[in-house]
Structure 1
Amino acid sequence: MAGNGATTRRLLTLFPLHVTLIFLLGANGADAATSFSFANECSHPVWVGVLSGATSPQLPRTGFYLAPGGTSSLAAPSSGAWSGNFWARTGCAVDEGTGRLACATADCGSGDVACDGRGPAPPVTLAEITLAAPGSGGLDFYDVSLVDGFNLPVSIAPAHGGCQAAACAGDVNAVCPSDLSVASGSSGEVVACKSACNAYGSARYCCSGDYGTPAACGPTSYSQVFKAACPAAYSYAYDDASSTFTCSAAATYHITFCPAT
């Protein structure tokens, strides 16, 4: 993942500081290892990317192909807490000259289906999660983030009746401002929408420098476009109140690409 300000901070830590602090103070946690299930409800294939946090072990697969209507699953480590994120790459194909896989959106740059510890190039919709250690009494934290832009709708839902899903089910590409839009070279179709931080790199849009606190960095006209399309997703770095979700004792988290609106 490339970028400045808030984007760079998320690359290094995977989650904002507030999530890490709340996680460490959480209560009422899970007692067993967690699994992740994946479903592709898009009309096109996706290549899932998986990135573990800096202190978390790598999952058994760091990338895999999902056909339309396809499903898959991964198990989280049973030995302790885990943090990481998931995303969908689109428009992927193998280059005949180099033999490397390249994707139109959210490419992780590995040249392969597996991302091998590499994060996605923005713009990308991220499903982020921090799991409590089994038996620790801690809470899991999860969200859908548009801080690094948007490429397709995503939801993450715990298999637990008392916990809410985090989702961006709206099509941000359909309402993306022209100066943030990323179009396909062949068709001109908008395939992704940059965040203002990605596009301009300014402290104001990236919540960095003089704007590096929640009090100093509020929503902008650009982030409000994202928020209107996806009210429950992070639209900028400090968009916490309506965008961070918690759960305890969820055995499975379901990640769905292109969930029904």
Structure 2
Amino acid sequence: MSIILTSFTLSTLILNTFAAHQINVINRCSETVWVGTFGDNQIPAGGGFKLNPGQRQSFSTIDGWTSGRVWGKTGCDSNGNNCVTGNSPPGGRTTLQPVTLAEFGFDKFMGLDFYDLSLVDGFNLPMAIQPFGVNLDQNCKLLRCQFNFNVCPNERNFRQFDSRGRMVACNSGCSAKREDKYCCTGPYYNNRDNCQPTEYSRLFKDQCPDSYSYAYDKKDADWACKGKSAGSSGYEITFCP
């Protein structure tokens, strides 16, 4: 009996120490959004789901979810494929740029969750990320991005249009130009001193100050929260807040 009790107690302690995290996703856009999900150690919610205008859906991630991504796809077919923006293979990490990303890494250093709203790959949908079940402070807060398409550079490969001629997305400097200095690749890779903000990343930063605007953007871009108890931290992602 003592062995069984000890095993039960140990299991309980483990469950209380490491718990799943809830993510709520809300679509407040006037169009259907297909949600994509990905992570290095888990692809939650089967890789994504459909949200009609006004709908919401929740899913859970494992503890320690790494390189987690959530994004919205628009202009998709009835199966959520062949999307105009944010398209990706089922369960695929790679999305067709430009796309607005919510990025997560759970239960990291000192039990912190790290999260950001990334425009490194460009912008396709307004987004907000609201932590809950946490102690809110200056490093753990609501992130919001409302991007004005009119400021998108009127240069080759920046503006993306749908079949009706509506501008539906704006590429970042990296995704539009594919050059090392904009993507922090080649001689700029892993060198924060060499890879500095550009006129394009500054444009995105001016529009959305809380966003991650280029590969080595850290100032006011990388946020961290800690749950009030083990596994209590969660995040609400709203499209078109």
Normalising by the smaller structure, the TM-score range is: 0.7 to 0.9
* Aligned-partner Cα distance in 2 for 1:237–1:76: 25
Match of residue 175, structure 1, among 148, 151, 159: 151
User: What's the counterpart of residue 77 of structure 2?
Assistant: 93
Greater Rg by CA: 2
> Identity over the aligned pairs, expressed in percent?
40
Contact 1:151 1:173 in 2 (8 A): no
Amino acid at match of 2:84: A
Contact 1:45 1:66 in 2 (8 A): yes
Aligned to 2:85: 105
Report the equivalent of 2:95: 120
- Residue of structure 2 aligned with 1:197, choices 155, 163, 174: 174
Correspondence 1:52-91 to 2 at 5 A: 52-53=39-40, 56-77=41-62, 80-83=63-66, 84-91=68-75
Q: Structure 1 unaligned runs (5+)?
A: 1-29
Amino acid aligned to 1:144: L
Pairwise CA distance, 1:162? 1.5
Q: Is the 8 A contact 1:45 1:90 kept in 2?
A: yes
**Residues in 2 aligned to 1:121 and 1:36: alpha-carbon distance in whole angstroms:** 23
Aligned to 1:49: 36
CA distance in 2 between counterparts of 1:35 and 1:117 reads: 21
In 1, the alpha carbon distance for the partners of 2:206 and 2:176 equals 19
Is residue 211 from structure 1 mapped to residue 198 from structure 2 by the alignment?
A: no
Note the alpha carbon deviations across 1:44-94, whole angstroms, 9 max, x for none: 1100000112xx1222321100111110000112xx411210000001124
Q: CA deviation at 1:166?
A: 5.0
1:171 Cα offset (Å): 1.8
Question: What is the aligned partner in structure 2 of residue 8 from structure 1?
Answer: none
**Distance change >3 Å, CA 100–CA 233, structure 1 → 2:** closer
Tell me what 1:143 maps to: 116
Give the alignment's TM-score, normalised by structure 1: 0.76
Instruction: Kindly tell me the number of residue pairs found equivalent between the two proteins.
Output: 214
- What's the secondary structure of 1:93's corresponding residue? coil
Deviations 1:219-239, CA, capped at 9 Å, x for gaps: 111111111110000111111
Q: 1:210 to 1:101 in 2, by over 3 A?
A: closer
Amino acid at match of 1:253: Y
Question: Would the alpha carbon gap of residues 248 and 100 (structure 1) be closer, same or farther in structure 2, given more than 3 Å must change?
Answer: closer
CA distance in 1 between counterparts of 2:146 and 2:193 reads 28
1:251 maps to a residue whose letter is S
SS of residue matched to 1:101: coil
Separation in structure 1 between the aligned mates of residue 141 and residue 52 of structure 2, nearest angstrom: 23
Name the TM-score, length of structure 2 as normaliser: 0.82
Once residues 150 and 28 of structure 2 are traced to their aligned partners in structure 1, the CA distance between those partners, rounded to angstroms, is 18
Gaps of 5+ in 2: 1-16
